[in-house]
Amino acid sequence: MARRKSLRVLLAGEGGHLEPALRDAGHEVDVGEDAVAALNAAESYSLDVVVIDLDLFRGEPYALARAIRVASFGYKPLFVAMTRSPGGPVEARCREAGIDLLLTKPFEPALLTGFLDRLGSVVAEYESFDPVI
């Protein structure tokens, strides 16, 4: 089986539904239900993935994505948003905020954990790559 890197994940606005599944999958998880908590977590940890629940985040979720993306925290996380109300305006606002992936709720946690497992495998492969020049 391929090596897989444990990813550092911030759940912004997500009330804990995904947290156990992500931890069980071996990822490090922090939860920030509002802008202050989410930004503090983003500053404290070198995050690999930021998952923003557009429906439950206390504050402006698109502003949070932009703030983390432009801040000089020294890393470039993947941004995932989730919502019960996808559509043109939501998709456009996600693109404008630099969100990479939009998931429609409800979905099984295995959808996200499977995606992150594959991402962790790619990261582990990349980190172990040693080109001979």
The sign one gets for the Cα dihedral 69, 71, 72, 75 is negative
Q: How confident is the model at residue 23 (pLDDT cuts 50, 70, 90)?
A: very high
Q: In this structure, are residues 49 and 119 in contact, taking their beta carbons and an 8 Å threshold?
A: yes
| Short-list 11, 66, 8, 57, CA closest to 35 | 57
Kindly report, residue by residue over 47-59, the tens digit of the pLDDT.
Answer: 899 999 999 998 8
For residue 40, give every residue at least 6 positions away whose Cβ sits within 8 Å of its Cβ, in sequence order, or none.
32
Q: Mean pLDDT lowest for which of 35-44, 61-70, 112-121, 124-133?
A: 124-133
Superfamily of domain 8-107: Response regulator (3.40.50.2300)
123 has a pLDDT exceeding 80? no
Average pLDDT, the chain: 87
Q: How confident is the model at residue 1 (pLDDT cuts 50, 70, 90)?
A: very low
**In the predicted model, what is the mean pLDDT of residues 61-78?**
85
Q: Is 98 left (phi over 0), alpha (psi -120 to 50) or beta?
A: left
Q: In this structure, are residues 22 and 113 in contact, taking their beta carbons and an 8 Å threshold?
A: yes
Q: In this structure, are residues 77 and 49 in contact, taking their beta carbons and an 8 Å threshold?
A: yes
